[in-house]
Amino acid sequence: MTYSVQFGDLWPSIRVSLLSEQKYSALVNNFDAWDNVSAKLEHLGAKDFVKEAISPQELEPESDLSPPPSLNYSPNLRCFTFPRGDISRFPPARLGSLGLMDYYLMDAASLLPVLALGLQPGDTVLDLCAAPGGKTLALLQTGCCRNLAANDLSTSRTGRLQKVLHSYVPQDIREGNQVRVTSWDGRRWGELEGDTYDRVLVDVPCTTDRHSLHEEENNIFQRSRKKERQMLPMLQVQLLAAGLLATKPGGHVVYSTCSLSHLQNEYVVQGAIELLANQYSVKVQVEDLSHFRKLFMDTFSFFPSCQVGELVIPNLMANFGPMYFCKMHRLP
């Protein structure tokens, strides 16, 4: 009922897509022999959607006179998808020649928050709600993280994160001082490490809409979890505020969820920005990602009317998402 009001005529199509098989992508492991892996994926008929979207942009100047917005995206990410409408599945990942898994299967929309974060070489990065680990792995694949702090409150979930890192990332990077995995309360990060990071990803716990339709176990819509579900937007605001406070003045934050609910998406962004202005006198500016939406329109379906941020909506021809993401700049 809520979503039919929020999405109007689009809802029946979103609903049937959510109930249908999700589409996956293969994130190539750059720590393995990535060129061989890419060739193998191309042979299956898949295409690197990042390269396809970004290469033409760099070659062709905009046809009108205004210069293109700075395409500030995280580099070195190679992620293969089958074309629109093609529902082929990737074979399971295998051990590559260096003893690491060759690719990681994930919803391609999950890569968009990492791309939008716009990592630069030498950045210090915080992934505040990091488990189960797909986005953390993608952050490391950029080759930009001087230090990466990966945190998740749940120790069982950080166990899964450690497994992913163990399977995909070389030991010297895992065990050097480049990656630190913790299980702290993310809401306290502003006090623990304020003004510390160049880039922060806040991929919050949410109603995980697609997952909740298919999994009974531990479902957030169970009666016993009603109070927890009602409190989610407040938790999300607290986590985003902590992520913004942990960012250096001048740094960037991306907030993301895999929910369609504007109460967990735009409203949380606006709530956290107000909280920071009123309680901490910290100014935060939302960055316009409409050029980002244009770049990736061939791969994803986007909701055309978010107040702030962008939302990938599931569509039978491109059954990725839901994935909401919004980029913010903490003003110096």
Q: State the binding site for S-adenosyl-L-methionine.
A: 129-135, 152, 185, 203
User: How many Cβ atoms from other residues are within 10 Å of residue 243's Cβ?
Assistant: 29
Closest CA to 204 of 191, 189, 193: 189
Catalytic residue, from 145, 206, 258, 326: name it. 258
Q: Is 24 helix (H, G, I), strand (E, B) or coil?
A: coil
Integer Cα distance of 258 and 256 in angstroms: 7
| Rounded Cα gap, residues 254 and 162, in angstroms | 23
Are residues 328 and 31 in contact, defined by beta-carbon separation less than 8 angstroms? no
Q: Is 306 a catalytic residue?
A: no
Three-state DSSP at 199 gives strand
Other CB atoms within a 10 A radius of the CB of residue 16 amount to 13
Closest CA to 124 of 27, 205, 193: 193
Annotated binding site: 129-135, 152, 185, 203
The Cα–Cα gap between 165 and 307 comes to 36
Which residue, among 100, 76, 98, 79, has the nearest Cα to 26 in the 3D structure?
79
Residues noted as catalytic: 258
